[in-house]
Copies of this chain bind each other. A is one copy, B any other.
Amino acid sequence: MSDNQIDTILSQLTFNGDGLVPAIAQQFDTGEVLMMAWMNADAVRETIKTGRVCYWSRSRQALWRKGESSGQTQSLTEFRWDCDTDTILVQVDQIGVACHTGRRNCFYMALRDGEVTEIADVITDPDELYSK
């Protein structure tokens, strides 16, 4: 896509006061919600241009090319946004695992039967990883 086309998309998104928009990542074929992070305009541009998901790290104040060091990248399968234009949904093909703890997704804390429960284990069996 050309920079002009990406500018058109950027003009349709509503960034917050910090220039960021939340982005939900969902595994394209299973529907699993993998994580939520933030994108600035540069991260959106890079994600669309390269087809590799890139966030903005609020702690490092730098582009966060997901998987750059770990190899656990997210290939973009579809870029969506919502009715209010202030939330992005990226459908992705996750390599390995999404969560830095080694779990497939970040949402492994749950309330079950009135108790706080860890509902997912760290993946140790390579067969349980996403596309390898």
User: Does A19 interact with chain B (Cβ within 8 Å)?
Assistant: no
Say yes or no: A101 contacts B83, CB within 8 Å. yes
B80 near A116 with CB under 8 A, answer no
Q: Is there an interface contact between B106 and A82, defined as CB atoms closer than 8 Å?
A: yes
State the oligomeric state as a number of copies: 2
A30 engages B31 (CB within 8 Å): yes
A–B pairs, 13, beta carbons within 8 Å: A5-B114, A12-B109, A30-B31, A33-B33, A33-B89, A35-B82, A78-B111, A80-B110, A80-B119, A81-B109, A82-B106, A87-B106, A87-B107
Binding site for B on A (CB under 8 A): 1, 5, 8-9, 12, 22, 24, 26, 30-33, 35-36, 48, 78-85, 87, 89, 99-101, 103, 106-112, 114, 116, 119
Could you list 18 further interchain pairs (A-B, Cβ under 8 angstroms) beyond the known A80-B108, A84-B106? Answer: A1-B114, A8-B116, A9-B111, A12-B116, A22-B36, A26-B33, A31-B32, A33-B33, A35-B82, A36-B87, A48-B111, A78-B111, A78-B112, A80-B109, A80-B111, A83-B99, A83-B108, A83-B109
